[in-house]
Amino acid sequence: MSAETLSTAQLIDAANAWLEQDPDAVTHTELEALIADANNGDVRAIAGLHHRFDSRLAFGTAGLRGELGAGPNRMNRVLVTQAAAGLAAYLLTHEPSPSIVIGYDGRTNSEVFARDTAMIMAGAGVRATLLPRLLPTPVLAFAVRHLDVSAGVMVTASHNPAKDNGYKVYLGGDNHGSQIVAPADTDIAHAIDVVAKGSITELPRSTDFVTTDDGVVDEYIARTAAVAGSAKEIVYTYTAMHGVGWDTSKAVFAEAGFSTPVLIEEQAHPDAAFPTVAFPNPEEPGAMDLSYAKAREVGADLAIAHDPDADRLAVAVAGRDGQWRRLSGNEVGILLGWRAAERSHGEGVLAASIVSSPALRTIAAEYGMAYQDTLTGFKWISRIDGLAFGYEEALGYLVDPDKVRDKDGISASVDFLSLAAELKAQGKNVLDRLDEFTARFGAFASRQVSMRFDKVSQISDMMMHVRTHAPTAVGGLSVTSFDDFQNGVDGFAPSDILRMEFEGGARVIVRPSGTEPKLKFYVDASSTAGGVADRHAAAEAVATQLETGMRQLLT
């Protein structure tokens, strides 16, 4: 990150230096045009160069993720090559003969970035293995453990907009195939900064890397299919959301004994433009409309969707009014968590991110299991010792932690399909199961609200405003405690999170998104008073009250 804004002369010099090492014809042409226009005094071109060169896309615990384009503040071949060389240097300082496996999805330049990484790794002396074709993120996460390598890289921007790509890093060994956390992220970032001081044209490259066969994919399929229960009779639709989930999921479903789903053909195959959705994220309004229509047409029991790299799962069902709706991440999480508790017989740990529903803690207490909250991000959940099940409300679930240490939308699909099939065999459905949950554990109402901003600075300004003007009440409810996680709370490392607890046990958590220019807040309320309908009404009323109050507070 530059300490100050570059002058126009410095800006053009930096752009020309970048241009000299850029091997990509598209970004090379883009940058040439910007430089030419900037030299002619074009204000927009100069502003465009400032946006690309005044700062650098930061490498952190999410790796890299950002918009495709030329310059250090974009995802491109120069930046990825620098990241690969920095990661290689980091690995070589930690063991004498490191190894890495690399995967990629169907986004623009994903395969190019993966192959660049493989050549840089091989050139640096790191034993590199490239997965055989575009595949889901969970396959790469599995491969890190299965191949017992030092690290893994997945080139994906998950559910981000079409213009983005990303670079996700996993570590093997004592990290057991989880995503990077501190201090590894900082150490890798420092190594990348050292590389970035020179030109990537000077870096050694080699084609002496291995492209693996389908053995690792076949093993992932077999291990994931083994999650299935005995009941298999279920009618369901499936969408890959224009991503890479279909081929692997199809094989897993068949191996598990489920019938072939009714496919949403328009979204079945990889398409980096994501033409049928505004955002390729099943959480976004409208993203599952094609699924709802097809499910109504075929009389499906449920509709399932993966995000483009298939590490997240969305489930939709027909309501009792006949209208289809997506279950919230918390609804799916508590159903799968309850299922995990039943089969764990009191052994192991249930875990969820702090912004997920408190319901999982209640399940753990009922079954005599340990429970642990984590900071947001599956990199924390996956590191819990003795983990039996973990989830985050943003549609991420881990039902088989012995196989993979990251969220896995495919294995979660198998587990949920098994649950739905078992319920169907009993003459019940998913909504009946949710009512059973409410009768036993109480009603838990949750809201997740995202507020999108044009500038990241606006988000930090808003967080600072709430910190320095801590409310005493929100939506008419008194705040009983206000926790600023930047100061360290509950043993967590300092984080940009605020938590407010209210009379009656409700809570609100506020945090910036780690991957998009959004400020998010999460509302949770619960009730055990009265029957199922009464409990739902009471919890929802408090949640609505707090959501309304938070919207007013943050605008």
Burial class (CB in 10 A: 0-12, 13-18, 19+), 106: buried
Query: Can you spell out the DSSP letters for 167-223?
Result: EEEEE-GGGTTEEP-TTHHHHHHHHHHHHHTS-GGGS------EE--THHHHHHHHH
DSSP lists the bridge partners of residue 352 as 373, 391
Q: What are phi and psi of 313, to 5 degrees?
A: -125, 135
**Position 201: which residue type?**
T
Task: Decide if 149 is inside a domain.
Answer: yes
- Host domain of residue 434: 218-440
Whose tokens are 């159903």? That residue is 335
Taking the C-alpha atoms of residue 506 and residue 409, their distance in angstroms, rounded to an integer, is 30
Nearest to 500 by CA among 530, 527, 522: 522
User: What pLDDT is stored for residue 3 in this prediction?
Assistant: 41
Task: Decide if 29 is inside a domain.
Answer: no
Find all residues with CB under 8 Å of 332, minimum gap 6, and list them: 313, 314, 315, 391, 395, 397, 412, 416
Q: Do residues 149 and 97 make contact, with C-beta atoms less than 8 angstroms apart?
A: no
Strand (E) or helix (H) holding 512: strand 507-512
Cβ of 29: how many Cβ atoms within 10 Å?
A: 12
Taking the C-alpha atoms of residue 479 and residue 450, their distance in angstroms, rounded to an integer, is 22
Q: Do residues 428 and 480 make contact, with C-beta atoms less than 8 angstroms apart?
A: no
261 and 389 assigned to the same domain: yes
Query: Can you spell out the DSSP letters for 93-129?
Result: HH-SS-EEEEEE-SSTTHHHHHHHHHHHHHHHT-EEE
527 and 413 assigned to the same domain: no
Task: Decide if 327 is inside a domain.
Answer: yes
Q: Do residues 260 and 253 make contact, with C-beta atoms less than 8 angstroms apart?
A: yes
Q: Do residues 26 and 151 make contact, with C-beta atoms less than 8 angstroms apart?
A: no
298 and 278 assigned to the same domain: yes
Taking the C-alpha atoms of residue 417 and residue 396, their distance in angstroms, rounded to an integer, is 16
Find all residues with CB under 8 Å of 42, minimum gap 6, and list them: none
3-state secondary structure 128-182: EEECCCCCCHHHHHHHHHHCCCCEEEEECCCCCCCCEEEEEEEECHHHCCEECCC
- What CATH number does residue 511 fall under? 3.30.310.50
Cβ of 450: how many Cβ atoms within 10 Å?
A: 12
User: What pLDDT is stored for residue 383 in this prediction?
Assistant: 95
295 and 259 assigned to the same domain: yes
Name the DSSP letter for residue 265.
Answer: G
- What CATH number does residue 201 fall under? 3.40.120.10
Task: Decide if 304 is inside a domain.
Answer: yes
Task: Decide if 27 is inside a domain.
Answer: no
Angle at which helices 245-256 and 409-425 cross, to 10°: 40
Taking the C-alpha atoms of residue 66 and residue 167, their distance in angstroms, rounded to an integer, is 9
Q: Do residues 370 and 349 make contact, with C-beta atoms less than 8 angstroms apart?
A: yes
406 and 277 assigned to the same domain: yes
Q: Which of 99, 110, 158, 526 is catalytic?
A: 158
Cis peptide before 204 (omega within 30 of 0): no
Task: Decide if 296 is inside a domain.
Answer: yes
Q: Which of 381, 405, 440 is the last residue of a domain?
A: 440
The two beta strands, 443-452 and 518-527, are antiparallel
172 and 232 assigned to the same domain: no
Name the DSSP letter for residue 492.
Answer: P
Quote the number of domains for the chain: 3
**Position 218: which residue type?**
D
Cβ of 537: how many Cβ atoms within 10 Å?
A: 15
Taking the C-alpha atoms of residue 194 and residue 101, their distance in angstroms, rounded to an integer, is 23
252 and 201 assigned to the same domain: no
CA 78 to chain centre: 25
Q: Is 2 a catalytic residue?
A: no
The pTM (predicted TM-score) of the whole model is 0.94
497 and 409 assigned to the same domain: no
Q: Do residues 406 and 382 make contact, with C-beta atoms less than 8 angstroms apart?
A: yes
CA distances from 472 to 464, 469, 480, 523, 551 (A): 16, 9, 8, 16, 16
For the chain, report the end-to-end CA distance as a whole number of angstroms.
29
Taking the C-alpha atoms of residue 427 and residue 231, their distance in angstroms, rounded to an integer, is 13
Task: Decide if 2 is inside a domain.
Answer: no
User: What pLDDT is stored for residue 515 in this prediction?
Assistant: 60
What share of residues in the chain are helix, strand, coil (percent, to 5)?
Answer: 40, 20, 35
Structural tokens at position 373? 């909250």
230 and 267 assigned to the same domain: yes
Taking the C-alpha atoms of residue 79 and residue 73, their distance in angstroms, rounded to an integer, is 9
282 and 431 assigned to the same domain: yes
Name the DSSP letter for residue 405.
Answer: S
339 and 293 assigned to the same domain: yes
Task: Decide if 22 is inside a domain.
Answer: no
Q: Which of 179, 196, 213 is the last residue of a domain?
A: 213
Q: Which of 213, 244, 266 is the last residue of a domain?
A: 213
118 and 201 assigned to the same domain: yes
Taking the C-alpha atoms of residue 507 and residue 196, their distance in angstroms, rounded to an integer, is 44
User: What pLDDT is stored for residue 6 in this prediction?
Assistant: 83
Structural tokens at position 354? 């702090």
Q: Do residues 441 and 359 make contact, with C-beta atoms less than 8 angstroms apart?
A: yes
* Tens digit of pLDDT at every position of the chain (555 positions): 444 578 899 999 999 999 999 999 999 999 999 999 999 999 999 999 999 999 999 998 779 999 999 999 999 999 999 999 999 999 999 999 999 999 999 999 999 999 999 999 999 999 999 999 999 999 999 999 999 999 999 999 999 999 999 999 999 999 999 999 999 999 999 999 999 999 999 999 999 999 999 999 999 999 999 999 999 999 999 999 999 999 999 999 999 999 999 999 999 999 999 999 999 999 999 999 999 999 999 999 999 999 999 999 999 999 999 999 999 999 999 999 999 999 998 899 999 999 999 999 999 999 999 999 999 889 999 999 999 999 999 999 999 999 999 999 999 999 999 999 999 999 999 999 999 999 999 999 999 998 888 777 788 888 999 999 999 999 999 999 999 998 888 888 888 999 999 988 999 999 987 666 789 999 999 999 999 999 999 999 999 999 999 999 887
